[in-house]
Amino acid sequence: MDNLKKYLNAYVNDPLDPYINAKLGEEYELIGQGAAAHSYFLRAAELLHDKDPEMTYCCILKTWKQLHKTTRRLEWEKGQLQTAVAYLPQRPEAYLHLSLHHSNKEEWKESYMYACLGLLYTDKEPLPYDVNYPGDYMLIFQKAFSSWYIGQREESKELWIQLSKMDNIQTEHMNVIKHNIKTLN
């Protein structure tokens, strides 16, 4: 709460500072106030759009994340992810979330396509705020997962094996990888 008070005081003195708006968004998110967080991240993105592309992109993804938590506005979420891709297409995070979006709807070709596109833009510095991006390996995971459903079974097997040899994969994902290798062989 101390940080929230600090940033609210700074905001009163300079409401057009995009970084203060983003910090307020982050603080509101941390205390579970998604609507307030969404508003501040949206404002930060608007103020930064022609000054700091990576931070703007991050704020766009943060607005997506706030509504993603509600699970009620899937088409708006998809649109916000597409906005992020259109704004900064050389970042991988929005591609991953679009791939996941389409996987959840069992739209395998779209899921595969977004995973492939995201893999073109890996090895980037992390964004300043958490946007539910566990790492580049998740794009390979999504490609392995969706390739199975579009008939690319050998590619899927090879990708699961590739993933099994990687470090820094979350335990839940590694369990799925091991299960799929065991099941597919």
Reported as a single tens digit per residue, the pLDDT across 68-82 is: 998 888 889 999 999
Residue 6 lies in a domain: no
Structural domains in the chain (count): 1
pLDDT at 165 over 90: yes
Residue 170 lies in a domain: yes
pLDDT at 177 over 80: yes
Residue 84 lies in a domain: yes
Distance from C-alpha of 14 to C-alpha of 35, rounded to nearest angstrom: 21
Residue 83 lies in a domain: yes
Residue 120 lies in a domain: yes
Q: Which residues constitute the domain of residue 161?
A: 74-184
pLDDT digits (tens, 9 = 90+) for 51-108: 999 999 999 999 999 999 988 888 899 999 999 999 999 999 999 999 999 999 999 9
Distance from C-alpha of 98 to C-alpha of 118, rounded to nearest angstrom: 10
Contacts of 120 (CB under 8 A, 6+ apart): none
Q: Considering the chain, what percentage of its residues have pLDDT values greater than 90?
A: 91
CATH code of 151's domain: 1.25.40.10
Question: Which residue type sits at 175?
Answer: N
Q: Considering the chain, what percentage of its residues have pLDDT values greater than 70?
A: 99
Q: Which of 149, 91, 77 is nearest to 119 (CA)?
A: 91
User: What's the whole-number mean pLDDT along residues 159-166?
Assistant: 96
Question: Which residue type sits at 106?
Answer: E
Half-sphere exposure of 44 (CA within 13 A, CB side): 29
Q: Are 144 and 180 in contact (CB under 8 A)?
A: yes
Q: Provide the token pair at 103.
A: 């996987």
Phi-psi sector, 164: left (phi>0), alpha (psi -120 to 50), beta: alpha
Angle between helices 34-48 and 18-30 (to 10 degrees): 160
Distance from C-alpha of 110 to C-alpha of 137, rounded to nearest angstrom: 18
